[in-house]
Amino acid sequence: MRTARAALVLAFLGLGAGAGSAQAQGLADPGARAPEAATGTRTSVAEVRGAKAMIVAAHPLASMAGRDILAAGGTAVDAAIAATLVLNLVEPQSAGLGGGGFMVVRDGTSRALTTFDGRETAPAAVDVNLFRGPDGSPRGFLDIVTGGAATGVPGLLAMLDLAHQRQGKLGWDRLVAPALTLAEQGYPVGKRLAALLAEEKRLAEDPAARALFYRPDGSPRQAGETLVNPDYAATLRMIATHGPAAFYREPFARRIAEAVAAASNPGHMTVADITAYRAVERAPVCGAYLAWRVCGMGPPSSGGIAVLQILGLVARQPAIAMDSEDGLALTIEAMRLAYADRDIWVADPDRVAVPTRGLIEPAYLDERARLLNLAPGPRTPAPPGQPRVQSGALPGPNSARDVPSTTHLSVIDAAGNAVALTASIESAFGARRMVGGFLLNNQITDFSDVAEVAGRPVANRIEGGKRPRSSMAPTIVLDAQGGVKAIAGSPGGARIPGFVATTLIQILALGKGPAAAVAEPHFIDRNRGVEVEAGTVLEAMMPALAARGYTPRATDLNSGLHVIVREADGFAGAADPRREGSALAIP
């Protein structure tokens, strides 16, 4: 019989991953709410190989759309766009045109990396009182989410358009074609969507959503039923004919603004807010990990910084084997330090002076590494650091809920162009409000509704026109010659950086293939206590963690890791068994 200590080591080695799941336990922090409920885990993960090109996405129909675009000569950006438009249909609870996202893009010719910021922006009229009642007390999360008050200006399509201008090849009429065909001819309800609809309580309050996702008797659609989405087909035809810019101008922009204003919980979005929206091209954040260069998304996402901090901190303890109990404890301690910085420093860089370089520079990580504590003993929250390039007092701590319902896809084409794309509408089914065949987001809840703490301004406070902080972490790993080694990312709310960092440790430090890496049972500490994935062998390690001074909890840790890894003879890819994605290749 295994001891708890042996189970801990076996779990991190990948010898004890289970297939079960359990109902998530709530934690006393704003980010504890699960982004989407778990809907079961596949017992095996297919590892797909290809010599020329590959896509891994969260639904087989999306992967098929991307593969077909790659086979037709499209670029990685083209394939990512086509797959994302299909995901709007088949995974509507997670992402779509009503939300936003981030992309990390590598050019196969120049080998240059860039990133695209399609994060939503707050309507100009919002302020920190948005989520408070008449008496000044905070409103309940579901009361905030449902309707229009928490909806930000959608940025996903503008981001896709900007990336297409830089690296697209096929026309928009070709890129919308897979999703358009499915919207007009019908597509089957997946098991995951059906399970989430069965649990959802407020989506049916919206007439358009009720007509699409529910039967005439009010019961939710079941797995295998065929859905037809003529409203989305009309939106896609508009994009194909007039280009993505039509989404952001009259008359379509007015439809979005009116849907937000007409909700039972109305928002403040105007046509002017929508027409003013711009996606932004930004420099990636990059850092070293072992022999690799890891590049990700900078602010307003905290994902790239947090992943680099976690990897950088564990790499500073080379004597500790990562496939040992001490290696796992080291990773937990690195997470605690990274999340302490994330909660304080990261916000919209166009509104706040975020010390991005300071947070990942080697000297700062050397300093933070001295706080790593593997000795047993009581655990208090790790303190935030003071980056060397930053002067003045620390900002106030952030209180955002940060529970995105999200999707991720990874693509590489025959020319070496690569894309890591993560998109979101925030909580499952977003604001529960439909327009144009897609669900609107509730991303404004990713702001802190507290403007200052103890006299210190909160960097991520709500302000009109501002982009809320995110945890999305689309990532591309490069080798010493600038070639692509890995493409990764995941949904998972505030837990995303932890999911991505531990997966990269599995691949880059322990040499595991993508299928083994994405199937690993999860553990994470967001500086609020250790969480281990329920229904896996990691539950057996909780006494060992407690003996080290942690207070572990077992909960659903519902990732959606979609990974591509370069091998000697081509690429290997795999989709997270916790969702229903697939990897497809051009041989």
Interatomic CA distance for residues 290 and 292, integer angstroms: 6
H/E element, 77: helix 76-90
Cβ-count burial of 205 within 10 angstroms (0-12 exposed, 13-18 middle, 19+ buried)?
middle
Nearest to 86 by CA among 247, 227, 277, 274: 227
Task: State the virtual CA torsion across 464, 470, 472, 478 in degrees, nearest 10.
Answer: 90
User: At 178, is the secondary structure helix, strand, or coil?
Assistant: helix
Interatomic CA distance for residues 562 and 404, integer angstroms: 17
Angle made by CA atoms 62, 115, 413, in degrees to the nearest 5: 45
Beta-carbon contacts of 350 under 8 Å, excluding residues fewer than 6 positions away, are: 280, 466, 467
The percent of the chain in helix, strand and coil, each rounded to the nearest 5, is: 35, 20, 45
Q: Does 406 qualify as catalytic in the annotation?
A: yes
Q: Which amino acid is at 151?
A: T
Active-site residue (options: 84, 235, 270, 406): 406
Q: Which amino acid is at 509?
A: A
Quickly count: other Cβ atoms within 10 Å of residue 243's Cβ: 13
Q: Cβ(306)–Cβ(353) under 8 Å? A: no
Interatomic CA distance for residues 320 and 326, integer angstroms: 7
The token pair that represents 539 in the structure block: 């539950």
Cβ-count burial of 227 within 10 angstroms (0-12 exposed, 13-18 middle, 19+ buried)?
middle
- Which DSSP symbol is given to 223? T
Nearest to 118 by CA among 467, 356, 431, 487: 467
H/E element, 423: strand 418-426
Largest pairwise CA distance in the chain: 67
Q: Cβ(478)–Cβ(292) under 8 Å? A: yes
Nearest to 527 by CA among 336, 311, 313: 336
Q: Cβ(507)–Cβ(567) under 8 Å? A: no
Quickly count: other Cβ atoms within 10 Å of residue 539's Cβ: 19
The backbone torsions φ and ψ at residue 307, rounded to the nearest 5 degrees and listed phi first, read -60, -45
User: At 164, is the secondary structure helix, strand, or coil?
Assistant: helix
Beta pairing, strands 553-555 & 530-533: parallel
In the 3-class helix/strand/coil scheme, how is 16-76 assigned residue by residue? CCCCCCCCCCCCCCCCCCCCCCCCCCCCCCCCEEECCEEEEECCHHHHHHHHHHHHCCCCH
Helices 172-185 and 76-90 sit at what angle, rounded to 10 degrees? 20
Could you list the active site residues? 406
